[in-house]
Amino acid sequence: MDELLAALGDPARRRLVSLLAERPRSVGVLAQLAGARQPQTTKHLQTLERAGVVVSQRSGQRRVYAVRSTALRELAAALGALADSAERAGGAQETYERYGRGLDTERLAAQGAGWADGRSFGFRRSLAAPPEVVWRHLTDVSLLGRWWTPDDLRVSELVFEARPGGRIVLEYREAEDTGDSDPAAGRAEGTVEGVRADERLAYRLSPLLPDGTPAFTAQVELDLRPAGSGTDLDVHWRLADSTVDAADFVAGIEIGFGQSLDKLATATATATAVTHVDTDIDTDTGSAS
């Protein structure tokens, strides 16, 4: 595939393939139609033949070339598969484009300090885990780090002191940047304000601009309610102290925190399933004894 793409990367060779797609032609005729010298045309055709794009056969004193359509169809199928992967519903490309549209909107709106003050965002998730399991994932640093980032990012620094006045630090990087070669993708600092175990958590959180100053301050409130064997989680964000430079952060709240909550749903469901399995094993062992 690489050789095929390299062969077709040259405009002169693509021109020859286009001519051969019409009909098989000899080297001399191809050189005339392409407006090129025959030795140069021969070299291009040899490259295309090695790559499997064309085939040739001798006819008397001439060598006649023809397109190998199978190779082009295989290339088209491979490129089509890449396009389908990029365009899959709910995929990373769709999220990228959605975020881009949000950036345009928020940057136009950011005309002065305080432009986003009072903006609110609401999230709701029905989680397949009891409130005590969800609570641990909201407040235990070892569990928070598994879900508290958007997709394709990883937590690189995390402090969460689950008590009133407790400190919060969240820094995240590209998931594939294991060597920390790029700057952090984001950093936020804040303070825990309210804690009611298994029921309610409230904190203030400020994403930081590159110079270390807050882009805005978000008042975040999370309410947990038992729902059968699971938990209904309601999250409310309200913005204050917004700066003009906060637009890029505001544009990412709905997508980014929404993705984080989806990861929370997976993490809590997995933890609950493991607990059930462990309980079943203990019960079976007890029965056997």
Dump pLDDT digits (tens) for 64-111: 999 999 999 999 999 999 888 888 877 888 889 999 999 999 999 999
Residues 61 and 132 in one domain: no
- Amino acid making up residue 234: D
Confidence of residue 273 (pLDDT cuts 50, 70, 90): confident
What sign has the CA pseudo-torsion 63, 66, 72, 74? negative
Residues 173 and 79 in one domain: no
How far apart are the C-alpha atoms of 255 and 171, rounded to whole Å?
Answer: 18
Q: pLDDT averaged over the chain?
A: 92
Residues 154 and 28 in one domain: no
The sheet with strand 153-160 has its strands ordered as 120-127, 230-240, 217-227, 200-207, 186-196, 167-174, 153-160
Query: Poorest-confidence range of 155-159, 176-180, 241-245?
Result: 176-180
What does the block give as tokens for 28?
């001399």
The reported pLDDT for the residue numbered 284 is 56
> Is the pLDDT score of 249 beyond 50?
yes
Burial of 160 (0-12, 13-18, 19+ CB in 10 A): buried
Contact 13, 44 (CB under 8 A): yes
Residue 41 sits in a domain of what CATH number?
A: 1.10.10.10
The answer as to whether 16 is a domain residue is yes
Confidence of residue 257 (pLDDT cuts 50, 70, 90): very high
Q: How many domains does the chain have?
A: 2
How far apart are the C-alpha atoms of 66 and 25, rounded to whole Å?
Answer: 7
Nearest-5° angle of CA 122, CA 200, CA 250?
30
Residue 259 sits in a domain of what CATH number?
A: 3.30.530.20
- Amino acid making up residue 255: I
The reported pLDDT for the residue numbered 289 is 35
The pairing of beta strand 230-240 with beta strand 217-227:
antiparallel
> Is the pLDDT score of 285 beyond 70?
no
The answer as to whether 110 is a domain residue is no
> Is the pLDDT score of 180 beyond 80?
no
Residues 169 and 46 in one domain: no
Residues 275 and 179 in one domain: yes
Residues 180 and 243 in one domain: yes
Q: How many CA atoms lie within 13 A of 257 on its CB side?
A: 21
How far apart are the C-alpha atoms of 87 and 142, rounded to whole Å?
Answer: 34
Residues 212 and 268 in one domain: yes
Residues 123 and 69 in one domain: no
Residues 69 and 172 in one domain: no
Residue that is written with structure tokens 């029905």 in the block: 126
Residues 138 and 223 in one domain: yes
Q: Which domain holds residue 39?
A: 2-84
How far apart are the C-alpha atoms of 191 and 205, rounded to whole Å?
Answer: 7
Residues 56 and 197 in one domain: no
